[in-house]
Structure 1
């Protein structure tokens, strides 16, 4: 064997399964059509992406779209000190990729100042979401209600630590598939949870 390219595709795939996402994208940069195809196959095997923003590799937008198109589960831990635009620069292409394939089933975003742009990008990829975690996102009832309109298959919603919510979003909530709601009551919360229980007997409420 004179070079890696002398190996058949099965052998290359076996070798490439040891590559990280960063390493797989570096192979694509080599610009060899055969290696690029096998690198894409390797990237498609990454179904879960768990991000801590401070430690996240510097992928470009196109790479993030490719990642987003393949993942089933996306978890992002940010931090209130991280500039909002820095987080959006990652979320937007990931959600664009996820929206194209509608494979995303689990989404978690924590410790951000949630705004209209977050709502827009996540909504675009939310059609098949089953689990949504927006703990500590400084949510408002209006933005959460707007986002949930796109979550037609949602089974579980977790919204702990959102002290800007008063519960009004529950009044217009229409999620027949919902089975679990995890929420933290606080001083600003004024929606009667007994009313929610009566209207939604199939939902397990965890307070």
Structure 2
């Protein structure tokens, strides 16, 4: 009399892999997919997912790709960022833009890792200046082109950028150049400006006072 072999191979799962293998797999996930792993409530996968999120050092957002991240998720992303770029569009409500920038900058302010900040095509007001200010203390490159800045707001913003080396402000037709009159950015080495009809500040005076700053005009 013979009996059939009922021995079965043990079931295997993703969790049978070691952490190094799991992390290599997680490298194929984008940010949103990685945050979805956090919702699984598995402490081991959550730990690896957080390691993966920490590798995202650059975030580039365009008007047609406004993210669906939560406030908490954006704050976590901000903690790890070194480069942030947001191209918006004047038709996008200011509050919509601030809902993205505020949590990112809150996170970035905690770690001071942010080195490049670019914001284009918004009406840059005092609220932008306030929410971004704490995040840019270590930033070395700022691009505020097409933000319709005023000289007063730009002056206040630059006071917060104590490590700034490069400044790009093209297409800001509301500036007259007075922000250059009392300059408080000692590390700055390059400014790229677009001059226009309303510009009144004498650039020769600035170049004489700050010979170490390369002033490029278009």
Output the TM-score relative to the length of structure 1: 0.98
CA contact (8 A) 1:53 1:87 kept: no
- In structure 1, the gaps of 5 or more residues are none
Q: Which runs of 4+ in 1 moved over 6 A?
A: none
Matches within 5 A, 1:126-137: 126-137=136-147
In the alignment, the residues of structure 2 paired with residue 151 and residue 84 of structure 1 have an alpha-carbon distance, to the nearest angstrom, of: 23
- What whole-Å deviation, never above 9, does each CA across 1:154-174 have from its counterpart, x for those lacking one? 000000000000111111112
Name 1:104's counterpart in structure 2: 114
Distance 1:105 1:61 in 2: 22
Q: What is the CA-CA distance between 1:53 and the residue it aligns to?
A: 3.1
CA drift at 1:11: 0.5
Match of 2:175 in 1: 165
User: What's the RMSD between the two structures over aligned residues?
Assistant: 0.8
1:199 lines up with 2:209 in the alignment: yes
Residue 155 (str. 1) matches residue 165 (str. 2):
yes
Q: Does 1:16 align with 2:21?
A: no
Distance 1:18 1:100 in 2: 28
- Residue 105 of structure 2 corresponds to residue 95 of structure 1: yes
2:77 and 2:108 mapped to 1: Cα distance? 8
Tell me how far apart the structure 2 counterparts of residues 146 and 57 of structure 1 sit (CA, whole Å): 29
What residue is the counterpart of 2:42 in the other structure? Answer: 32
Consecutive unaligned residues in structure 2, runs of 5 or more: 1-10
Q: Do the aligned residues in 2 keep the contact of 1:22 with 1:57 (CA within 8 Å)?
A: no
2:90 to 64, 77, 80: 80
Q: Please, what TM-score do these two structures have when normalized by structure 2? A: 0.93
- 1:12-56 Cα offsets, whole Å, 9 max, x none, are 001001110010000011111111110010011111111013313
Equivalent position of 2:6 in the other structure: none
Distance in 1 between residues matched to 2:41 and 2:206, nearest whole Å: 56
Bigger CA radius of gyration: 2
Post-superposition offset of 1:121: 1.2
Query: Hey, what's the Cα distance between the residues in 1 that align with 2:184 and 2:157?
Result: 12
Deviation at 1:6, TM superposition (A): 1.1
